[in-house]
Chains A and B, each alone.
Chain A
């Protein structure tokens, strides 16, 4: 049986994390994969302990000083040899069929990454694939803030999807050396997808069922967006196709 490692990087917010982990485990039970969950405690003020969770097979990694998302995920990925890796934010609540739909989306070997349709608590779209605008606009979430029923969704390929809920073939993750740790926090997921695309790896997004994403719940998280964006634009500015807003020439 194939194996799936679910990596959840988290700081504080234990109640939310517990719900996240339980719903992910429930979603995984609908899939024909053996699942293991790795929680990365990214220097929570009150460290998590294994008894905090119902699943006693859950692995817990603790950092005493705050790490970037990339470093946390990369460290966790080394704890497993699973076929697939799911990067999951602690504020994403997976619905029962989501994980199965994502795994089923990896129909071909060259489809190496699958994102998930995610909704804000008010029912509007948080994520349904990432598109890229011209020039300084860079990557942004397609259809964000819209109502799903009003958006035509197709099983198209994207240049990137959000790392808030990203299923990756381990072979792809290892080939690319994991996420790039030079990003403080944010956009390392988009960087990863773009690099994967350059190696012929295809990225898709499963929107057959929308899970829930509260987004940026962790304190201090948003402040790290700016330096991450600077790195991203320095590296990728003008070097991706434009499938969002074109340049106003």
Chain B
């Protein structure tokens, strides 16, 4: 393990280093104690997953699987329980009951291993604005325990793919929003995770960049990375291999976009969503 080695390039990250070391020691413990392995082609397996906040059941016995290499759309109205479910899958929140395996690790018992093996990008926070482009790559790579050479090689490769070679030394804050989103996505898969969680990655992004972003998602999926994505753009749900729709804490529909449209005799995914969301009782 090479935690910390690469942080000397960046000032003021002592807290991160401390936290990383802490995670590191937990990781080795977990590795020794647990030998959970994947039994089939599913990268996510969830059974009766439930989260309660007091009397309120935010996520109510959801059961579903996500296949390796799949683009999985995770839809639902505001307040349906998407964020809570996603936090559990990312190892950020303990389930009240039920089981889940993500990338082969138990989301109730091996949260640090889950975190290490997934990528995550949210619309709100994804990059350090006051660091340069290469410094962001270096920081993320370091946090995920990559060594100096790996970080350098991968940074070169990704900047080339993005056509961002001239922006290597640019401050992130100086980049246009569309570029930032593309950069944030590259960072979320920088450590080659098996699965990446994208939480409304295209919110507020201009229509052309939004489409370029989906081409990046396809490219990642072609390389075998599973993509778990939420969006409020219904056209984007058509680009997913399968889509689930949450209503009042439950998953009320899960299938390919085409099958869902057939099932609800709907002309597009917007109509499918409308039909299901209208059955919601809670607000």
The answer to whether A and B come from one shared complex is no
Residues of chain A touching chain B, judged by Cβ–Cβ distance below 8 Å, are none
